Structure 1
Amino acid sequence: MAAKAEPRFGRMIPAMVTPFDENRELDLDRAQALANRLVDGGSDSLIINGTTGESPTVFYPQKIELFRAIVSAVGDRVPVLANVGDNCTADTVDFAREVESLGVDGIMLVVPYYNKPPQEGLYRHFRTIAEAVDLPVILYNIPGRCVVNMEADTTLRLAHDVENIVAVKEASGNMEQIKRIIEESPDAFQVYSGDDEATFEIMKMGGAGVISTIGNVAPARMKEIVELTAAGNYDGAQAAHNALQPLMKELFVTSNPILVKEALKLVGFPVGGVRLPLVDATPEQSEHLAQVMREVGVL
């Protein structure tokens, strides 16, 4: 099954890591260089300061600096999508309005974490924020981090009721749920895989593509998978997926984005370490990661 419509933000969207300097402060020059590197590698859009961008430890003033820097660097080349989601609806409304003025092309909103809201709370949270801005909105469902799963009924209500809610990043792992959202949402509403390994399967059901972790390290390889799948070349896409899958798995043997940042260092594009409470890769983790990267032809 082909995707319902050509996705406005493209098919391969890295969730970009946030570079830090030796003091774990924002490295905006490196962030701009990384954004250009990812676009040169075939990225269709960029998600800035999502989970892979260490959003929990990059606070609002630093997020603004980061968004502004990336819009300046690549905003004339690809859409720049800012993750502004938080677990307080009122704060997120205020922040989303501020971010809208920076020239970003859309925002991403994650399911509120820790609060454990009921489905009606999720619906009102997302609707309230989306209706406070004019930007297109991508929802982000990741129960492994947020505890609560946004059920298909809730996603579909939002897709049908709120004009500027245009997509969802689905990382629930529930293929029946994802299939239903694809089939019952409006034609212009897009479903993105939130898990690199599930991308091929989700796209075969009609998904738009992926908001990708491995896209930081191997953007051209991930772009090949989504383009082959979108073209209906499932044999070629399966082969490309299989060739990269060991690294997709390896990047998640510890908390993301520890090994993504280590992988960028290994390919010669260091972006600094991670902020506490995350910790940098151990020598053993780095050695095994390098082995897998060599096996799949990334190193």
Structure 2
Amino acid sequence: MQKFVGTGVALVTPFKKDFSVDTEALVRIVNHVIDGGVEYLVVLGTTAESATLTAEEKELVIKTVLQANNKRLPVVLGVGGNNTAEVVNELKTRNFEGIDAILSVSPYYNKPTQEGIYQHFKAIGENSPVPVIIYNVPGRTGSNVLPATVIRLANDVKNIIAIKEAAGDLVQAMKIIQHKPEGFLVISGDDMITLPMVLAGGAGVISVIGEGYPKQFSEMVRLGLLHKVADAYALHYQIADSIDMIFEQGNPAGIKEIFKALNLCENTVRLPLVNVNDDLAKRLANFTKNIIS
């Protein structure tokens, strides 16, 4: 699964001012991140505001990304939910042409036990026609996929090949890295701790800031994978303040301000999300101007 080592980016869904999907802007963003050197694309994750997209809009986003990518990079599709049977049905009926793997979030709202989480992902792994990346993000789901559960799934279900670990807990990530089977990938879901996770044995990141500044962030990850620590941290600290800023008032409102500053898309988000305030917008625009100059 070397294709998922390095930097993947969680693509936004750009909207026009009338809140419709802006496919032309999405093409620009895909080209921006590919030209910036990222290793793969992630479609319809949290950053894509997928919770507010209709079924038709989701298909439009997938089609647009696949056409713009034109098989240049691997593509990961977000397919998850808190109704296991519904997720399995989508896996059985969806066309996966052009899709290299799925990213599947741990069930949210239901707050299942670890056994429930295990059985959920076991069902997904056994029914997915493409490899599965578990997505653990307790801050959004209300439950944490513990290292023992991850290791159990990694050993029991061959089609589960990685975890996007976004608990914000480096020690938890290190426990998974320590005990995982050979070939299983531990991918950072937290931009700020990506480099230390990579240096501890992680495989890279699925990033938000990496789509704003793909050249700098993907190079940082590559340097980390090569254990060129000083050079990697120099890039980390160059970018670090912007990571705090893009999440300060919610994702993807922050990263869309960077895209607006780069003239790639509008900063429009759909309710219940709202735009960042003027102060943060100015700070992000100034940071972006300085980092790309």
Q: TM-score range by the shorter chain?
A: over 0.9
Q: Does structure 2 conserve the Cα–Cα contact (< 8 Å) formed by 1:141 and 1:170?
A: yes
Determine the structure 1 residue equivalent to 2:229.
234
1:90–1:59: structure 2 CA closer, same or farther, 3 Å change rule? farther
For 2:181 and 2:49, locate their aligned partners in 1 and report how far apart those are by CA, in whole Å.
32
Specify every segment of 5 or more residues in structure 1 that has no aligned partner in the other structure, as ranges.
1-5
Which deviates the most, 16-25 or 77-86?
Answer: 16-25
Alpha-carbon displacement from aligned partner over 1:191-237 (angstroms, at most 9, x marks no partner): 11101110111001100001000011100010111011111100111
Determine the structure 1 residue equivalent to 2:284.
289
Which deviates the most, 277-286 or 241-250?
Answer: 277-286
Which deviates the most, 56-65 or 109-118?
Answer: 56-65
Alpha-carbon displacement from aligned partner over 1:172-197 (angstroms, at most 9, x marks no partner): 12222211111211211101110111
Q: The residue matched to 2:264 in structure 1 has which SS?
A: coil
Q: Does structure 1 conserve the Cα–Cα contact (< 8 Å) formed by 2:136 and 2:165?
A: yes
Determine the structure 2 residue equivalent to 1:146.
141
Post-superposition offset of 1:284:
2.1
For 2:206 and 2:266, locate their aligned partners in 1 and report how far apart those are by CA, in whole Å.
20
The residue correspondences of 1:117-156 to structure 2 (distance < 5 A) are: 117-156=112-151
- 2:181 paired with 1:189: no
Determine the structure 1 residue equivalent to 2:152.
157
For 1:96 and 1:272, locate their aligned partners in 2 and report how far apart those are by CA, in whole Å.
32
Alpha-carbon displacement from aligned partner over 1:34-76 (angstroms, at most 9, x marks no partner): 1122111111100011111112112333222211221122141
Determine the structure 1 residue equivalent to 2:48.
53
Q: Which has the higher helix share?
A: 2
The residue correspondences of 1:1-150 to structure 2 (distance < 5 A) are: 7-150=2-145
For 2:5 and 2:22, locate their aligned partners in 1 and report how far apart those are by CA, in whole Å.
27
In structure 2, what residue type is equivalent to 1:221? Q
For normalisation by structure 1, the TM-score amounts to: 0.93
Q: The residue matched to 2:76 in structure 1 has which SS?
A: strand
Q: Does structure 1 conserve the Cα–Cα contact (< 8 Å) formed by 2:8 and 2:38?
A: yes
Q: Does structure 2 conserve the Cα–Cα contact (< 8 Å) formed by 1:170 and 1:193?
A: yes
Specify every segment of 5 or more residues in structure 2 that has no aligned partner in the other structure, as ranges.
none
For 1:257 and 1:8, locate their aligned partners in 2 and report how far apart those are by CA, in whole Å.
25
- 2:250 paired with 1:255: yes
Q: The residue matched to 2:127 in structure 1 has which SS?
A: coil
Which deviates the most, 190-199 or 275-284?
Answer: 275-284
Q: The residue matched to 1:18 in structure 2 has which SS?
A: coil
Determine the structure 2 residue equivalent to 1:243.
238
Determine the structure 2 residue equivalent to 1:3.
none
CA-based RMSD: 1.5
Which deviates the most, 96-105 or 108-117?
Answer: 96-105
Determine the structure 2 residue equivalent to 1:210.
205
Q: The residue matched to 1:108 in structure 2 has which SS?
A: strand
For normalisation by structure 2, the TM-score amounts to: 0.95
Post-superposition offset of 1:26:
1.6
For 1:32 and 1:99, locate their aligned partners in 2 and report how far apart those are by CA, in whole Å.
23
For 2:54 and 2:119, locate their aligned partners in 1 and report how far apart those are by CA, in whole Å.
24
Displacement over 4 Å in runs of 4+ = none
Q: The residue matched to 2:240 in structure 1 has which SS?
A: helix
In structure 2, what residue type is equivalent to 1:48? V
